[in-house]
Structure 1
Amino acid sequence: MKKTLFLSPPSFDGFDGGAGSRYQAKREITSFWYPTWLAQPAALVPESKLVDAPPHNLRVTEILALAKDYELVIMHTSTPSLANDVQCAAAIKAQNPHTQVGFVGAHVAVLPQATLEENPIIDFVCRQEFDYTCQDLAQGKAWSEIQGLSYRDKYGKIHHNPERELIHDWDALPSVMPIYARDLEITKYFIGYLLHPYISLYTGRGCPAKCSFCLWPQTIGGHQYRAKSPEAVGKEMAQAKSLFGNSVNEYMFDDDTFTIDKQRAIAISEYLKKLKLTWSCNARANLDYDTLKALKDNGLRLLLVGFESGNQQILDGINKGIKLEVARRFMQNCHKLGITVHGTFIIGLPNETAETVEETIRFACEVSPHTIQVSIAAPYPGTQLYQQALLNGWFSDQSLVTNSGIQISTLAYPEFSAQEIEASVERMYRRFYFRPRAIIPIVGEMLGDPQMLRRRLREGREFFAYLKERRA
């Protein structure tokens, strides 16, 4: 077994490039998702080490000190951070030319040939679901025999091995919880709408929805939801409670759509209730009242819901598969049951205009989730949105983030410029949050909990600093 380091490399200050983040960028407030995509293969490789540099404030010099004794370094990368990550790989190779360094992530899964051609310092990339590909590499299997691997041989020639099948026996995968406990400081991870400290994890991959912009199903996870059994999830969460005790205030199930199989979600929630755990998950805005009530009764606190837009034509154009009236009824039920909702919205999707942004702002204020996130449409390679942008000439810029990591618009339309898209983000935030229905619940949280008071004040400072930097 090769001595193996799984690395999420240093990046822009505050850059949330980890595998759990839907958009790799610097957030409005300090936000770091867990490196779920790296933790799973790390769990398959005994005595490996997982290093998540950004939340732990590790710089390249510190990474070099850690990496010097490793034979194999597997790094997670993303489209916005690729150039930066290649520099880190080059520094590792300069320190020890014999270290084998390779990349994983959606960008290299889609563009393996280009990645290897343009970056001779990289020895290999893993395509699609790479958990067992990483295990094969660590076990020293001949590279020519490893499915899902693209690599450079000793003569510099690039090879692409046959694809690896997606993982269907998820119960056979080991838990990531021991990796989290061994290698990560859970207090370093923040998400504004989740209780702190929190832990996020996947219980499965793949999403049946066909949203044109969504990265993971179109590049790595596929559209078939493959997941652990409720019994296996219950066992993993019991292990988590044993490892972390009462130091974790919330568990977030980050599956693209945890609730797509309603009976499975309810069965899992029954285990969570027995363990007395507070939990949250991703959901689509079409869950029925009875399912919502069952989950709430079993400890559900919050749902993360992608509304995207308040304009039905835009939703239909991105294959969202949700009607606004259904989303309204869903939110009415959540309010009735006392389920907190964090709503996510996207500005700059196809057919966006100043008028459709106004519709989205009005819709968000009407359904009134507790908190929102407003992102800019990001056409990642490998997605349908990326192909549409190429075909229609919508690209205004190839950069997804600024030099400081803040998300910018790479898209522009004849009736809606990139600058107008970016300006709409701040306008929506201000319109949503500067109204009594949004402010009063947040103030109530702060008055009822001194820790929440300190946290919200810090987040407020960060939020306004972010808006100032965006305008700069």
Structure 2
Amino acid sequence: MRILLANLPWHKLPEGEQPGWRGIRAGSRWPHTFPYYGGDLIGGYMPFPFYLATASSLLKAAGFEVAFRDSIALGESYDDFYAFARSFRPDLVVVETSTPSVNHDLAEAGKLKEMLPGLRAVFCGIHAELEEERYFAGRREIDFVLYGEYERPLLSLAQALREGADLSLVGNLLYRQAGEVCKTACGPLPDLKEFPWPERDDRLAGRYVDVGIGLEQPQLQMHASRGCPFGCIFCVWPQVVYRSRRYRKRDPEDVVAEIEANLKRYPYRSIYFDDDTFNVDLAHILAIARLMKARGLHHIPWGAMGRADLMTREALIELKEAGLHSIKYGVESGDPKVLDEIGKRMQLKKVIEMVAFTREIGIKAHLTFTIGLPSDTAESIEGTIDLACRLDAESLQFSIATPFPGTKMYEIYERKGWLITKNWADYDGAAKAVSRTERFSGEELENYVKLAYSRWAEAKIRRALGAPAFQTALAAQLAERLAPGDRLVVLQSANINLTLALVAALKKSPFEIHVLTHERFAPAFVPLLDESRLHLFRNTGDFRIAALKDWALALRTAHDFKGAVVPYTNPDGANYEEVEQVALTVAPIIAAGVNMEGRLIR
């Protein structure tokens, strides 16, 4: 039996002046889309699809012919994916779907079944409707649904189909028999020791990256555990995938052995542990850290996602010595009552202490906050924004509370009549509200997120670029590398507030300032510079050297730029290689590189 495991293409190309979009699905706790302005279909945040990859290893070990196709990481077109499917001719296609992509994925499955007669489709992933018998009955594009954590049930299903066995013995399954929908019980979660290492495609190894915490690419993404014992009402995976608060750990020896094996295969420059909550068991993660240090792996920077209030000073010091470079902390709100009501059970005082200590000892911190939680008030949201500004992390994320189907939050919002839409494509957990609350409309929540980002960036940049030490250092570095009157081009390659502040500061220098930017940012620079000094591109959404090289060379010839200034969103300039290539094409040198901390890193 041939089985195709698919993270399907999920994008829309730009049309005229309208940007398209790209989607992130398998491997992400918050599947989402973001604007796409042209160029290739890769770059930016790209999670590793652990479930599909582990399922592939399980199926291959059982003798199945398997193709694991991550079209998102490949950046491939729909036509290229269809061509691959036709050449492989699977008997079974397994689609990992999500709430915002489910209708799109159903349509694609229908096309595949028309294209390949006899093909049967399995849907799994994080969309709670899939396990409803009535929903499944009306979706002829799907032959089977595997709900919950699906790797082991998928193996059982494939074996049953191969052997003609009774499907009622397969757990977590919806199927049809004699025209009737049948649903089997959800089986127990397996011990992680039962799983083989996930399959990895060396061609895509450099594509997977979590961009929030400044780790360099290529980045090896790992799991050391699954699950979380806390009961946050908004969190999808514990409620829809695991269906419990059980926390499962891998053997530290096995984790480190997998890291070592992958480092021998590919020159990874960092490691990211994409666990649900990495530091639930400090003894477990310290055991991993000690093994990494003992085996000489502590020279490779690594990061993780955890809870600040579960950390200790002693643990952070030891983790740093073992290579911990950066960590994501979920804070969500600055109001203790709001935190209690969403099931976070977090000690805010301890969070503030540990974030400060994390930064004090040189570990980078990325914080996440949520706007529009059920009991949020104007005062609690203001308090959240104020806390975010005071904590002064290297980076952060503000999200609108999104009640995904299958979560307790969804039940609350549906019961209270707060859902604005059930158009699942809108449920992308980004900047678009799909619900309101008792006190706020969806539009007001969207505006709060914009305000939060703006206030945080302004506060951070004002502190950093307003410091006399920074201004003196920047002036001295530029004076060493350029002559008065030279033309200097600034790339809009970071948070727009940082670039605007840099341009405003550089206008006081003895140089002629120009800006290189995508056209969508042009209006922000018009008050600062004459339009003749704004150089706009639109053929790619970001700084891709392949798309911009000829244009950048022509600009260099026409304007004789003597240097470029590159703003960096992340602390160390990680993953800015293409930006720097564009800078060195449009100008002979990078005269300065400035990060959000107000440090000269180039």
- Same-fold call, TM > 0.5? yes
Alpha-carbon separation, structure 1, partners of 2:172 and 2:117:
24
Alpha-carbon separation, structure 2, partners of 1:239 and 1:407:
39
Alpha-carbon separation, structure 2, partners of 1:433 and 1:167:
44
Whether the 8 Å CA contact 2:225–2:250 is kept in 1: the answer is yes
Q: CA deviation at 1:437?
A: 6.5
The match for 1:76 is: 96
The match for 2:78 is: 60
Q: CA deviation at 1:204?
A: 2.2
Whether the 8 Å CA contact 1:16–1:31 is kept in 2: the answer is no
- Does residue 219 (structure 1) correspond to residue 240 (structure 2)? The answer is yes
The match for 1:40 is: 54
- Does residue 277 (structure 1) correspond to residue 314 (structure 2)? The answer is no
CA RMSD of aligned residues (A): 2.6
Q: How does 1:179-258 map to 2 (within 5 A)?
A: 179-182=199-202, 184-187=204-207, 189=209, 191-193=211-213, 194-221=215-242, 222-244=244-266, 246=267, 248-258=268-278
Whether the 8 Å CA contact 2:25–2:101 is kept in 1: the answer is no
Pick closer, same or farther for the CA change 1:370–1:404 going to 2, 3 Å.
closer
Per-residue CA deviation, residues 309-352 of structure 1 (Å, 9 max, x unaligned), is 11222111101111221111111110121111111111111112
Alpha-carbon separation, structure 2, partners of 1:78 and 1:302:
28
The match for 1:470 is: none
Instruction: Give the residue type in structure 1 aligned to 2:26.
Output: A
Instruction: Give the residue type in structure 1 aligned to 2:3.
Output: T
Q: CA deviation at 1:297?
A: 0.9
The match for 2:600 is: none
Q: How does 1:261-300 map to 2 (within 5 A)?
A: 261-273=281-293, 274=295, 275=297, 276-286=299-309, 287-300=311-324
Per-residue CA deviation, residues 86-123 of structure 1 (Å, 9 max, x unaligned), is 01100110011311111111215763424412311100
State the secondary structure of the residue aligned to 1:372. Answer: strand
State the secondary structure of the residue aligned to 1:349. Answer: coil
The match for 2:367 is: 343
Alpha-carbon separation, structure 2, partners of 1:79 and 1:429:
26
Instruction: Give the residue type in structure 1 aligned to 2:227.
Output: G
Alpha-carbon separation, structure 2, partners of 1:226 and 1:60:
37
Alpha-carbon separation, structure 2, partners of 1:145 and 1:89:
26
Alpha-carbon separation, structure 2, partners of 1:449 and 1:128:
39
Q: CA deviation at 1:18?
A: 2.6
Q: How does 1:60-209 map to 2 (within 5 A)?
A: 60-68=78-86, 69-108=89-128, 111-139=131-159, 140-141=162-163, 142=165, 143-153=167-177, 155-168=178-191, 170-176=192-198, 179-182=199-202, 184-187=204-207, 189=209, 191-193=211-213, 194-209=215-230
Alpha-carbon separation, structure 1, partners of 2:44 and 2:463:
20
State the secondary structure of the residue aligned to 2:4. Answer: strand
Alpha-carbon separation, structure 2, partners of 1:404 and 1:24:
6
Q: How does 1:1-12 map to 2 (within 5 A)?
A: 2-12=1-11
State the secondary structure of the residue aligned to 2:95. Answer: strand
Pick closer, same or farther for the CA change 1:402–1:411 going to 2, 3 Å.
closer
Whether the 8 Å CA contact 1:269–1:298 is kept in 2: the answer is yes
Pick closer, same or farther for the CA change 1:59–1:335 going to 2, 3 Å.
same
- Does residue 452 (structure 1) correspond to residue 470 (structure 2)? The answer is no
Alpha-carbon separation, structure 2, partners of 1:367 and 1:190:
22
Q: CA deviation at 1:376?
A: 1.2
Instruction: Give the residue type in structure 1 aligned to 2:127.
Output: H
The match for 2:524 is: none
Q: How does 1:327-406 map to 2 (within 5 A)?
A: 327-399=351-423, 401-402=425-426
Q: CA deviation at 1:30?
A: 3.1
Alpha-carbon separation, structure 2, partners of 1:43 and 1:26:
29
Pick closer, same or farther for the CA change 1:384–1:44 going to 2, 3 Å.
same
Alpha-carbon separation, structure 1, partners of 2:355 and 2:210:
25
The match for 1:18 is: 25
Whether the 8 Å CA contact 2:73–2:207 is kept in 1: the answer is no
State the secondary structure of the residue aligned to 1:75. Answer: strand
Highest CA radius of gyration, 1 or 2? 2
Alpha-carbon separation, structure 2, partners of 1:39 and 1:448:
31
Alpha-carbon separation, structure 2, partners of 1:405 and 1:456:
31
State the secondary structure of the residue aligned to 1:45. Answer: helix
Q: CA deviation at 1:183?
A: 6.3
Pick closer, same or farther for the CA change 1:438–1:242 going to 2, 3 Å.
farther
Pick closer, same or farther for the CA change 1:82–1:439 going to 2, 3 Å.
farther
Name the count of aligned residue pairs. Answer: 451
Instruction: Give the residue type in structure 2 aligned to 1:225.
Output: Y
Instruction: Give the residue type in structure 2 aligned to 1:58.
Output: E
Whether the 8 Å CA contact 1:255–1:281 is kept in 2: the answer is yes
Q: CA deviation at 1:379?
A: 0.7
Pick closer, same or farther for the CA change 1:356–1:285 going to 2, 3 Å.
same
Question: Higher strand fraction: Structure 1 or Structure 2?
Answer: 2
Alpha-carbon separation, structure 2, partners of 1:229 and 1:364:
36
The match for 2:432 is: 408
Pick closer, same or farther for the CA change 1:57–1:146 going to 2, 3 Å.
same
Alpha-carbon separation, structure 2, partners of 1:446 and 1:316:
32
TM-score by length of 1: 0.88
Alpha-carbon separation, structure 2, partners of 1:78 and 1:230:
31
Alpha-carbon separation, structure 2, partners of 1:444 and 1:35:
28
The match for 1:31 is: 45
The match for 1:468 is: none
Per-residue CA deviation, residues 192-221 of structure 1 (Å, 9 max, x unaligned), is 433222232322211101111000011112
Query: Which segment drifts farther, 38-47 or 397-406?
Result: 397-406
